[in-house]
Chains A and B, each alone.
Chain A
């Protein structure tokens, strides 16, 4: 559904991504992990159609991604970015409703309101609709934006095919229960036939929810495999430059990893 072919991104003279090549079929959760500055967010921007690669090609559902207009792209993929700031005192309801705004859908105001309220309940923000979003805590705001993104993307699959959900550190401000809730929603989206690409820092959380993990280092892919193999291998220790202790959880399950020095 999403193919990268020798994609490179440069910032001035410096290559910050690539060359990177891989294909992602629909129906999975792909976790991107790696140290700070490894190019994870840049890769996500390329997948979002926001950053055009200087070299190589991104193909989304068989078409060159550069050929998609912003609004057509918005109907096929949604992005939860790291930015949680809202410049003006919008209510939570109004922010979530922006998900319907960019790519107009044939819904009545009543249908939209019902969906927004259902979505707010799903991200555990029932009753928050009338609150000024600027007065919410970081975690609450992150969940409100998640509700917006889920409203934008709608069903995981429609008549034109599966859709793409991109999440850039979606749990960075969340408590442990909401971290799990959020990643469950991402996994549900993938189970329904969509594709989820999520950037995560927590290796154990990533391994628990991902079908496949891409470990990045210096703009390149260091490892691209299933979570069990990734966490059992030594590449993780090398890429993060820290020795890991592994706690085995039985066959077929990824081990819990933690820094050896702790």
Chain B
């Protein structure tokens, strides 16, 4: 679909709106296809038309074997929906941060959102039966996601407070403080790793590489709405992020209330990333690669880039999860390995092709 985008790129006058609309439609179709395919794959494989029929019949139908209905409705559908929502949230968070920092390399990991979430989660894993037991035990299986979410919000709030003076947020300070806070969180996380036993280490490793295993409707209803709200609200930022491309002063000259827009963007990113880390651990690469691909292939206008990132990010993560479930079956690979393994080479190929180094 990326190639399709290139072919229809821009009318002769440089207005790429038509190409962008076509790309969005293609991406939406792609997401649907990938989702149906992903619901079908697994230990008991189902054909795409069977999946569609089972979905159309609704949960608890007696027109199909109960086992098939349960697999689709109770196991795979919530997992695929969670994957789609997380993929969309991470890609939108990446595109938003890149716009905010005016830097195509910005990533949720950089502003301390992910490291903060990771630190809180690792603390729960290692200290959950020790000093943190009174806090962790009553929360049961929700202790880890809640800790990750709170960690993300706290670190974002801290950074925002550091970088804001007299009602103005310095994006440069935010970035630098994020790197410092990330390193500090990393150091403490490392210390917890040093303290942990083998079982805890395995938990931590799986969690830091991310995974959608164990997704239930309950977990989806707990984490999904925050991410969905962030994704659906993101188009509000599009004009502002476009104007910010020229610089903060220039965005103000163009009529933008810059500070209000920055605050909204940061809250949106913290919510999206915090909830995603809470739901599935740290899944790298989606936030940086998806907006890049769309900019390279179609265009950088955020009115296109934000919804486009949501659709492509969702499709990519659902696909990655389907692969994670199948390539080493019956074992399951961490999804972060898959996203990096399929994303990075494709990305490099695109970069090389664009620079003409491959002669194509």
With a cutoff of 8 Å between Cβ atoms, the chain A residues found around residue B256 in the complex are 70-71, 102
| Interface window among A73-81, A198-206, A209-217, A227-235 | A73-81
| CB atoms of A91 and B16 under 8 A apart | yes
Q: Which residues from 141 to 198 on chain A have a C-beta closer than 8 Å to any C-beta of chain B? A: 145, 152
Cα A81 to Cα B249 in complex, Å, equals 8
Tell me which of A74, A117, A129 contacts B253 (CB under 8 A).
A74
| CB atoms of A101 and B17 under 8 A apart | no
Chain B residues within 8 Å of chain A by Cβ, number: 33
Is residue A66 within 8 Å, beta carbon to beta carbon, of the partner chain? no
| Interface window among A57-65, A82-90, A249-257 | A82-90
Tell me which of A83, A91, A109 contacts B14 (CB under 8 A).
A91
Nearest chain A residue, comparing its CB with the CB of B305 = A88
| CB atoms of B16 and A81 under 8 A apart | no
| Interface window among B41-49, B117-125, B141-149, B238-246 | B238-246
Cα A135 to Cα B99 in complex, Å, equals 20
| CB atoms of B254 and A98 under 8 A apart | yes
Is residue B252 within 8 Å, beta carbon to beta carbon, of the partner chain? yes
Q: Which residues from 27 to 44 on chain A have a C-beta closer than 8 Å to any C-beta of chain B? A: none
With a cutoff of 8 Å between Cβ atoms, the chain B residues found around residue A128 in the complex are 14
Q: Which residues from 265 to 308 on chain B have a C-beta closer than 8 Å to any C-beta of chain A? A: 295, 299-301
A129-B246 in contact given A98-B254, A102-B256 (Cβ < 8 Å): no
A93-B247 in contact given A70-B255, A98-B254 (Cβ < 8 Å): no
Cα A116 to Cα B11 in complex, Å, equals 14
Is residue B331 within 8 Å, beta carbon to beta carbon, of the partner chain? no
Is residue B15 within 8 Å, beta carbon to beta carbon, of the partner chain? yes
With a cutoff of 8 Å between Cβ atoms, the chain A residues found around residue B239 in the complex are 101-102
Please report the number of residue pairs spanning A and B whose Cβ atoms sit closer than 8 angstroms.
Answer: 110
**How distant is B237 from chain A, measured CB to nearest CB, in Å?**
13
**How distant is B276 from chain A, measured CB to nearest CB, in Å?**
24
Cα A98 to Cα B240 in complex, Å, equals 10
| CB atoms of B15 and A129 under 8 A apart | yes
Is residue A219 within 8 Å, beta carbon to beta carbon, of the partner chain? no
Nearest chain B residue, comparing its CB with the CB of A95 = B246
Q: Which residues from 9 to 23 on chain B have a C-beta closer than 8 Å to any C-beta of chain A? A: 10-17
Cα A106 to Cα B249 in complex, Å, equals 25
| CB atoms of A101 and B254 under 8 A apart | yes
Is residue B203 within 8 Å, beta carbon to beta carbon, of the partner chain? no
B residues near A (Cβ < 8 Å) are 10-17, 99, 102-104, 239, 242-247, 249-258, 295, 299-301
A residues near B (Cβ < 8 Å) are 45, 48, 50, 69-71, 73-75, 78-79, 81, 83, 85-95, 97-99, 101-103, 109, 113, 116-117, 128-131, 145, 152
Known: A70-B256, A91-B10. 19 other contacts (CB 8 A): A45-B249, A71-B257, A74-B255, A79-B250, A81-B253, A83-B247, A83-B249, A83-B250, A87-B244, A87-B245, A88-B300, A94-B15, A94-B300, A102-B243, A129-B13, A129-B14, A129-B15, A130-B10, A130-B12
